[in-house]
Amino acid sequence: MPATAPPRPVAELSFEDAMAELEQIVRALEEGRQTLDEALAAYERGTALRQHCEARLAEVEGRINAIVATEDGLATRPVAP
């Protein structure tokens, strides 16, 4: 059986890639065909993916909140990186 490549570090994943992998992990856990050790490793990876996605969403939310209402309508303000 060929060796599989190790998964990419979570921090390198886009939001979309992280969500897709998280969905695969959830499906695999729901099927219950993994050994206990495999399920635990998948759960830990899933937790890291969820945290990554939540952080990305918080970042985007902060950028969206940078659009503020003014007396003249909508304006934007600089957002710290």
Angstrom distance (rounded) from CA 79 to CA 28: 39
Would you say how long the chain is, in residues? 81
Give the pLDDT confidence of 31-40 residue by residue, as tens digits: 999 999 999 9
- The pLDDT score that the predictor gives to residue 71 is 65
Can you give the residue range of the structural domain that contains 51? 12-76
Query: Is residue 1 assigned to a domain?
Result: no
| Residue 1 in this model has a pLDDT that exceeds 60 | no
pTM of the shown model:
0.75
- The pLDDT score that the predictor gives to residue 49 is 98
For the residues of 38-51, what is the DSSP string, one character each? HHHHHHHHHHHHHH
* CATH code where residue 39 lies: 1.10.287
Backbone torsion region of residue 69, taken as left when φ is above 0, otherwise alpha when ψ lies between -120 and 50, otherwise beta: beta
| Rounded mean pLDDT, 41-68 | 90
Total domains in the chain come to 1
